[in-house]
Amino acid sequence: MSSQAQNHEFQEWWNKQRGFLDKPDSTAFLTVEIRNPTSDPTVDKGHTRSARQLSWLWLLKFQQLATSLAWLTNGSVSLLRTANRRIATNTTDSPSDSSASSRRLYRIIKLFLFLVILLLCFELVAYFKGWHFSPPSVESAEAAVERVYAKWLGIRASYLAPPLQSLTNVCIVLFLIQSVDRVVLMLGCFWIKFWKLRPVAAVEYDGSESVEDYPMVLVQIPMCNEREVYQQSIAACCVQDWPKERMLIQVLDDSDELDAQLLIKAEVQKWQQRGVHILYRHRLIRTGYKAGNLKSAMSCDYVKDYEFVAIFDADFQPGPDFLKKTIPHFKGKDDLALVQTRWAFVNKDENLLTRLQNINLSFHFEVEQQVNGVFINFFGFNGTAGVWRIKALEECGGWLERTTVEDMDIAVRAHLCGWKFIYLNDVKCLCELPESYEAYKKQQHRWHSGPMQLFRLCFVDTLRAKVSFGKKANLIFLFFLLRKLILPFYSFTLFCIILPLSMFLPEAELPAWVVCYIPGLMSILNILPAPRSFPFIVPYLLFENTMSVTKFNAMISGLFQLGSSYEWVVTKKLGRSSEADLVAFAERESDPLVETTNLHRSCSESGLDVLNKIETTKKTGKKKRNSLYRKELALALILLTASVRSLLSAQGIHFYFLLFQGISFLVVGLDLIGEQDRCIIVAVISTPEVIESNPRVVDVTGTL
């Protein structure tokens, strides 16, 4: 009875509404007639609604709309506040950005920005005058502005568009060549996976051998002010499953901070007391950066007693069986100079920046290094997590201080001397990714300026080397030109210069497949070695284009030997791998390497652990000062201005690409990427289950 009454109430209300709509003076309204499919009023009672129910329904929809608007408003306000805080606490750009070459590039970008803003104003006037739809001619023009616009149309069609179109075609060809290279590398990787190709060692060490059967191995750990990570690297090397009398560890400390020197020296003494053969070396004259440090260590008289040298940077943690998995590959291969292993990252899921880095480096190790190692026995040494035959180092001239990429330098010279390399994709060495954009930018500047320095220095030596023509062509064209020079050149020129200009010079056409489809396909190929990162494919594509300005500037600096090309800044580490990071620890809890390393660190009998935590807290407790990156901000304004112009001409794909790429540049320019969400970590580690299963978590929560 209740539902029947509600039904009559709704019917009476609806009849009144229909009566209002059926009046002659309401013909402007749309009359809608709703018929009940059955005459039985008792049928489908559950689907009828009263006026009160409709009111609540509309109120709920209004509330949802208000919530969405409030969320967007809060997000916008938060972004503006963050940007304002970045501007208020602005510091100067990194040293590489304050160099002469960087200032010149910034001035060019500013001039370009002024030009596109001026052109946009001109185009807006033309749009509202209707000249886009019926372009005026000089003869038919009446007003002065109309004549100027008509002359501008002739100038851009006859003089500006043709050279821009030629440059566009050149960049498209380079883009296609580089894309073909990526496809070939992926096919090579699939071939390796399908046929299960992998290097096989001639012998294996199972513990039944005598001590004399183990080669003499020198382990080197170069570091400089690495107070956050020195403990874990020293501990990981000291617990190697290798006869102690057949191994010597050199801690090569280039620190210029006295407290860091004392901490590292005390850590070395602690392991010496446990019977480990380990030495502490500190240079008084710190020349040549890392290359000078390694060169000085190799000049010691006792080095001649050792056959191999393993190198680990301060944030790397080799597994206890690292030497047992790498040294056997040298057996019976007298022409083998290097065994390189893969990097694994303990903080790859820390923030968006580390996730994007993981995509790039996964492709580098899984595809580039593995394919080059299997098919041509040559690849660039990664500077760490590798074992060298000391004889090969000496024969090719040893470590040289002429570039900031001493690892690539020694690899190229060894390759030209006829030595071969092996890459082990299944042997991983834990390390840490830079978590701030400032540290990552400095690292990328060194990684892209150094190869161009080296190319200038070794080009003639490559032509004169007594190796096959194929090896020379691979080294010059693929290794240096295509992957080190052409890639940053076309990436910056095509997507940051040509694309915005083509919006204002529509006679120069940039096809949509160059803007969207080919980059999308290449991003999918790059992300295949890290399939868990597929949700980040769009941010990856945008961020790679955003980094092109840094890589282009570094490439130009190295190619023309400008001042910033010789800059060496130690990449800042936060000690994720040494502070029992909980997310990484949960994933790696069953790994014997981590258990053994943490066991040795936790059973320290000295007060060094406490002292180190205090010193680390002092370093990391400082308030972070953010930088404004001028070139990125200027390019953001250029791309957003061009997106407005593309909107006027209704270019869909170009508009969306320019809009999102401009936002990406804006986020990076305001230093809004790479921030760590400490609240999430605290929420994870504060659960009773995690604390109960990992008692050491209590110390970490205290530091947070």
DSSP bridge partners of 430: 317, 344
pLDDT in tens, 654-694: 999 999 999 999 999 998 898 544 333 333 333 444 334 44
* Confidence class for position 231, pLDDT limits 50, 70, 90: very high
Residue 593 or residue 11, greater confidence: 11
Q: What is the DSSP letter of 570?
A: P
For residue 46, what are its two tokens? 């559950």
pLDDT number for residue 500: 95
Element counts in the chain: helices (H) and strands (E): 29, 7
Q: Interhelix angle for 592-602 vs 230-238, to 10°?
A: 110
Binned at pLDDT 50, 70 and 90, residue 701 comes out as very low
pLDDT at 54: 76
pLDDT value for 145: 81
Tell me the C-alpha to C-alpha distance, in Å, between residue 700 and each of 16, 613, 697, 704.
69, 10, 5, 6
Give every CB contact of residue 173 below 8 A, 6+ residues apart in sequence: none
Contact 93, 627 (CB under 8 A): yes
- At 17, is the pLDDT very low, low, confident or very high (cuts 50, 70, 90)? low
Task: Write down the residue that tokens 């500047």 correspond to.
Answer: 445
State yes or no: pLDDT of 528 exceeds 90.
Answer: yes
Dump pLDDT digits (tens) for 356-380. 999 999 999 999 999 999 999 999 9
What value does the mean pLDDT take over residues 190-202? 95
Cβ count within 10 A of residue 346: 24
Q: What is the pLDDT of residues 139-184, one digit of tens each?
A: 777 778 888 888 999 999 999 999 999 999 999 999 999 999 999 9
In the chain the first and final C-alpha atoms are separated, in Å, by: 63
From residue 156, alpha-carbon distances to 161, 186, 499, 502, 657 in Å are: 6, 42, 16, 11, 24
CA 104, 84, 76: angle at the middle one, nearest 5?
115
- Identify the helix (H) or strand (E) that includes residue 415: helix 406-416
- How far from 641 is each of 33, 80, 655, 665, CA to CA, in Å? 50, 19, 10, 13
Residue 461 reports pLDDT greater than 80:
yes
Structure tokens at 628: 């404004």
Beta bridge partners of 429: 343
For helices 630-648 and 652-669, the axis angle rounded to 10 degrees is 160
Q: Which parts of 404-525 are beta strand (E)?
A: 420-431
Contact 638, 116 (CB under 8 A): yes
pLDDT in tens, 23-61: 444 444 444 444 444 444 444 444 455 777 777 878 887
Give me the DSSP letters along 490-553: HHHIIIIIIHHHHHH-TTS---HIIIIIHHHHHHHHHHTTSGGGGGGHHHHHHHHHHTHHHHHH
Percentage of the chain surpassing pLDDT 70? Answer: 77
Burial 508-525 (b: 16+ CB within 10 A, else e): bebeeebbbebbeebbeb
Angle at 526 between CA 521 and CA 531, to 5 degrees: 105
Q: CB under 8 Å to 28, separation ≥6 — which residues?
A: none
In this structure, the number of other CB atoms found within 10 A of the CB of residue 374 comes to 20
Give mean pLDDT, residues 689-701.
38
H/E element holding 70?
helix 51-88
Q: Which of 551, 486, 519 is nearest to 654 (CA)?
A: 519
Q: What pLDDT is stored for residue 644 in this prediction?
A: 92
With beta carbons less than 8 A apart as the criterion, state whether 361 and 343 touch. Answer: yes
Distance, in Å, from the CA atom of 41 to the CA atom of 446, rounded to the nearest integer, reads: 80
Which pTM was predicted? 0.80
User: Please, what is the average pLDDT of the chain?
Assistant: 82
Q: Is residue 198 packed enough to be buried (19+ CB in 10 Å), middle (13-18) or exposed (0-12)? A: middle
Tens digits of residue pLDDT in 304-332: 999 999 999 999 999 999 999 999 999 99
Residues in contact with 473: Cβ distance below 8 Å, sequence separation at least 6, in sequence order: none
**Burial, 529: exposed, middle or buried (Cβ in 10 Å; 0-12, 13-18, 19+)?**
buried
- Per-residue pLDDT tens for 73-98? 776 677 667 666 666 665 555 545 65
| Rounded distance between C-alpha atoms, residue 663 and residue 660, angstroms | 5
| Confidence grade of residue 193 (pLDDT, cut at 50, 70, 90) | very high
CA distance 531 to 82: 32
Among 243-252, 363-372, 555-564, 605-614, the range scoring the smallest mean pLDDT is: 605-614
pLDDT at 320 (0 to 100): 96
**So what's the pLDDT on residue 53?**
72
pLDDT at 523 over 80: yes
Q: How confident is the model at residue 581 (pLDDT cuts 50, 70, 90)?
A: very low
Least confident stretch, 25-39, 387-401, 628-642 = 25-39
| Residue tagged 């570091």 (tokens) | 223
Residue showing tokens 């800042």: 572
- Average of per-residue pLDDT across 577-595: 40
**With 0-12 CB in 10 A as exposed, 13-18 as middle and 19+ as buried, what is 180?**
exposed
Sheet holding 336-345, edge to edge: 278-282, 247-253, 217-223, 308-311, 386-389, 336-345, 420-431
Task: Answer whether residue 652 shows pLDDT above 80.
Answer: no
User: Does residue 21 carry a pLDDT above 80?
Assistant: no
Q: At residue 105, does pLDDT exceed 70?
A: yes
pLDDT on residue 626: 62
Identify the pLDDT of residue 8.
Answer: 58
Q: Known catalytic residues?
A: 254, 407
